[in-house]
Structure 1
Amino acid sequence: MPLLSTSLVRATRTAQATSTIWSAARPMATLREPAIKLRPYQEESIQSVLSYLARGHKRLGLSLATGAGKTVIFTQLIDRIQPPNSHANQTLILAHRRELVDQAANHCRAAYPDKSVDIEMGDLYATGAADITVASIQSLRSADRIDKFNPDRFKLVLVDEAHHIVAPGYLHVLQHFGLYTPPDHVLDPAAPDSHTPKSAGGFQPDAPALVGVSATFSRFDGVRLGAAIDHIVYHKDYIDMINDHWLSPLSFTTVRSRADLGSVKTNKDGDFQTGQLSCAVNTPETNEITFTAWQSDAAHCKSTLVFCVDVNHVKDLASTFRRHGVDARYITGTTKKRDRSTLLQQFKDRIFPILINCAVFTEGTDMPNIDCVLLARPTKSRNLLVQMIGRGMRLYQGKTNCHVVDMVASLETGIVTVPTLFGLDPGELLINATALDLKKAAQERQECDHGPATTTRDISNDTVSFTHYSSVQDLIEDTSGERHIRALSPNAW
């Protein structure tokens, strides 16, 4: 079976046609705040899940762009998926970050004031009997914490940022709920010896339904998701959401510095080794170039989110901005929770213009005020690049677009840049590029050996060069379209 079924369009249309009947058949819940008005694609995704479950499928994925409102869909699924029997009516939501756990729990409490909602995370212990439990995956890795959850009493397991779902911690939890069978426990009935194991996967017939949601349904380490998810049942990409005005338009500028990545090694996940990358990028010269690029191209922006390599890079780049009189503040993994909350709120209120981080806000952070994303860290990961860019795509009052400034270093090391996501040469320099511009440039590049006519200018004593375009469609099309989905599973066509 293909992971993204060829019958998906027909299933979605059927789901749309039956959505009115389904809604009419559902009794109205009492003691609940007014129902959320779902966006059309949110209802479509829910109906697609229900359609696949009705046909006996169990482990499903939703491919939704950042900002699509996956938490809203999560909370709606809890009520829309019916229990298989009278005692299996509990739901488990899995996430890998504190912000995602808190966000999901808050949404569930608001949507279901008549249901009990527990959190299993750190020093917070769930009872195991709540209607809805939101858990960090780290907390469930120990037997004494997961054993209190009786799989027979669960109807649904929801997984946020589900591209992580084949990590060992997740597979351990899925195995507990009968949603994953390790290779040595799966027997191949076709083998002469019935004790011969076949590939991992599969689920118990009485297991709860599994629904995972992600904006980047692939893994840079090459691990296939077919061990945990059998079907991507709905896909809504960035380009459609921008065209339908559900997400903010983007513009791009790439800036080439003199940072030399030639000696930076690759880590086990296939991206740059963090320590060596920091040494190559976190230099006084490169930090000055980064500030100059922002000052020249994005100083008019009110809320810039900056991505750095590591904590030292965060602190040094913040010092560079401050030395030039710009109020730049930072959050790292060691920032205290209270300070972190205060800084985030001040940034959202636009009290200061620059927030710098490293690996803190790549996923699951809701800061719609962001109108500039400054990529000060090179990467080989397509997923990471899309996640960082996605931080600026949410709608916000008065926000007309989000400008992405991509600091490009040496290009012979397999680096992924905005141009490569469009199918352009990684050395193509962009200035205020829109997606329509980039789509046209990519088409022209296919038709001839030379690229589109662009203007290039140098600043800072020839250490920085810019080229501006102004649209985003092809970047999105390339990273979230069917070509991206096909690589997810051995079942993909």
Structure 2
Amino acid sequence: MGAGRSCWHTWVQGIRMARVPHGPWRDLYPWRHYSSQLARSGVAAARLDHARWIATAASPSASAKTLYQHQTDCIEQSLTAFGQHDRVAVSMPTGSGKTVVFSHLLARLPAPTPSQHKVLVLAHRTELLAQAKRQIEAHNPNLRVDIEGGHAHADVDAADVIVASVPTLGRPSSVRLSRFDPAEFKLIIIDEAHHAAASTYKRILHHFFDENRSNPYDVKLWGCSATLQRHDGLGLDDVFDTIAYSVSLETLLDEGFLAPVRGMKVDVDLKLDQVRIRKGEYDPAELSRLVNTNAQNELVVEQWRRYCQNERRSTLVFGVDIRHVLDLQEQFKSGGVQAESITSLTPNAERKRILQAFSDGEFPVLLNCTVLTEGTDLPCVDALIMARPTRSHTLFVQMLGRGLRLHPDKKDCLVIDVANTFASNSLSSRMATLMGLKFTAEDDGAAHAHAIAPLSV
């Protein structure tokens, strides 16, 4: 395999903004559009019709002046959609400010009745719970925000907003969900909504909505995700009625809201066609055996030394599994490079320490497998190394998103593919449709006005 042959690619514009579920979005997200069903309880009589709903939506608060245009558009179109639908989803890229959006949305949404003003925010990871709580409190200082999850027990009666752990509320043996009276909640928010088809989420939603999708309490459901699709084939059409808003990654890159991206592909001889496919993705055990070799791990470190050591501040590396991450970490350390790793086995306190030290620039390389693909804000990351291939568009977008946030010391983000990730199952050829991006050979780059010039090599 050797050092591999470096072949530079540039990133150019793809699809434009699509804000309502028409055209290509109907093809990309083949969801059925259900008409909202009127509730059979006494609350139904108080349900607002479409025109009255729009008229009674609270006016933007003073803090809304800090919102970017796409965030304002998302909030307004979500409120409009709620006049016709109970369950609304939006698609926004990583780094676009989804938490900021729903922190403002929950205050703008009118309560169906005076006693039905509470909001439940659902997230599946500890980091997401804390981040959501901080953002909601920052934009809504008059609201009480509690966390429900693990050893944290919210005061359901006193809290205005409860940020809850899905594993805590949604597991079959949990009795904590019974403390939540649906008649007191106006809105349920699902962060990383592509997970919403999982059984734990559905168990929670069935507590507020009947299984036949009736809505006796007039509760609204709003979900946001950078990737409103699942690689395991489970559909989201049973969860959401419509996509109210979407904005492409390319649009936010053009507007300068996200960090520019440079892409580099290192040609390697990986026999990915020999790896078994399970539920649309490479089998983890077989994939690990293929990529977790001395030669491949040496190549990862070699490419980091060549393109990142003197040019990049913070590099995030994605591995296949825990063994792969630990072996890669040892490869970096044996070469005198200070590198840390986070896996599912890393204790929360240690994880927090590592992330803070990485953000502070105390070491240059952080390795992980599947842990840092969601819910972790690391604006300092200015280089990504894809040491694992994937057939999942969702996973690829999530990995890429870790490097898109802006940072004062960051001019762009370099993405180095050392595992044929860009070529996996023709992934790169479908990037324009899925992400607003595609790859073009270097000598074609001059033909594209939005191309980012490759680094000198």
TM-score (structure 1 length as normaliser): 0.75
Instruction: Tell me, yes or no, if structure 1 residue 223 matches structure 2 residue 234.
Output: yes
Distance (Å, rounded) in 2 between the aligned partners of 1:416 and 1:82: 46
The amino acid that maps onto 1:134 is: V
State the Cα distance separating 1:266 from its structure 2 match. 2.1
The amino acid that maps onto 2:93 is: A
Q: Does structure 2 retain, via aligned residues, the 8 Å contact 1:304–1:354? A: yes
- Indicate the residue corresponding to 1:85 in structure 2: 113
Instruction: Tell me, yes or no, if structure 1 residue 149 matches structure 2 residue 180.
Output: yes
Q: Does structure 2 retain, via aligned residues, the 8 Å contact 1:250–1:471? A: no
Q: Show CA shifts across 1:303-347 (max 9, x none).
A: 000000111111111111122221111111111222211111111
Instruction: Tell me, yes or no, if structure 1 residue 168 matches structure 2 residue 199.
Output: yes
The amino acid that maps onto 1:270 is: G
Q: Does structure 2 retain, via aligned residues, the 8 Å contact 1:249–1:471? A: no
Instruction: Tell me, yes or no, if structure 1 residue 134 matches structure 2 residue 163.
Output: yes
Structural RMSD (CA) = 3.0
The amino acid that maps onto 1:110 is: A
Q: Does structure 2 retain, via aligned residues, the 8 Å contact 1:5–1:232? A: no
State the Cα distance separating 1:421 from its structure 2 match. 2.6
Q: Show CA shifts across 1:340-382 (max 9, x none).
A: 1111111111111100011110011100010001010111111
- Indicate the residue corresponding to 1:44 in structure 2: 73
Identity %: 36
TM-score (structure 2 length as normaliser): 0.80
- Indicate the residue corresponding to 1:270 in structure 2: 280
Distance (Å, rounded) in 1 between the aligned partners of 2:372 and 2:340: 14
Partner of 2:385: helix, strand, or coil? strand
Per the alignment, do residues 89 and 24 of structure 1 end up closer, same or farther by CA in structure 2, a change over 3 Å counting? closer
The amino acid that maps onto 1:297 is: Y
Partner of 2:121: helix, strand, or coil? strand
Distance (Å, rounded) in 2 between the aligned partners of 1:72 and 1:333: 27
- 1:286 pairs, out of 287, 296, 299, with 296
Count residues in correspondence. 398
Q: Does structure 2 retain, via aligned residues, the 8 Å contact 1:382–1:416? A: no
Q: Does structure 2 retain, via aligned residues, the 8 Å contact 1:259–1:410? A: no
Q: Where does 1:55-204 land on structure 2 (aligned, <5 Å)?
A: 56-129=84-157, 130-141=159-170, 142-178=173-209, 181=211, 186=212, 202-204=213-215
- Indicate the residue corresponding to 1:421 in structure 2: 431
Per the alignment, do residues 363 and 374 of structure 1 end up closer, same or farther by CA in structure 2, a change over 3 Å counting? same
Q: Does structure 2 retain, via aligned residues, the 8 Å contact 1:250–1:472? A: no
The amino acid that maps onto 1:155 is: K
Which of structures 1 and 2 has the larger relative contact order (alpha carbons within 8 angstroms, sep 6+)?
2
- 1:386 pairs, out of 384, 394, 397, with 397
Distance (Å, rounded) in 2 between the aligned partners of 1:340 and 1:108: 23
Per the alignment, do residues 408 and 470 of structure 1 end up closer, same or farther by CA in structure 2, a change over 3 Å counting? farther
Instruction: Tell me, yes or no, if structure 1 residue 320 matches structure 2 residue 327.
Output: no
Q: Does structure 2 retain, via aligned residues, the 8 Å contact 1:369–1:396? A: yes
Partner of 1:361: helix, strand, or coil? helix
Distance (Å, rounded) in 2 between the aligned partners of 1:385 and 1:101: 23
5+ residue gaps, structure 1, are: 9-17, 187-201, 424-434, 442-450, 456-468, 474-493
- 1:329 pairs, out of 309, 327, 340, with 340
Per the alignment, do residues 291 and 422 of structure 1 end up closer, same or farther by CA in structure 2, a change over 3 Å counting? farther
Partner of 1:227: helix, strand, or coil? coil
Per the alignment, do residues 74 and 275 of structure 1 end up closer, same or farther by CA in structure 2, a change over 3 Å counting? same
Partner of 1:46: helix, strand, or coil? helix
5+ residue gaps, structure 2, are: 1-18, 26-50, 453-457
State the Cα distance separating 1:418 from its structure 2 match. 4.2
Q: Does structure 2 retain, via aligned residues, the 8 Å contact 1:127–1:148? A: no
Q: Does structure 2 retain, via aligned residues, the 8 Å contact 1:310–1:358? A: yes
Q: Show CA shifts across 1:88-108 (max 9, x none).
A: 110000011110011111222
Q: Does structure 2 retain, via aligned residues, the 8 Å contact 1:251–1:470? A: no
Distance (Å, rounded) in 2 between the aligned partners of 1:411 and 1:72: 31
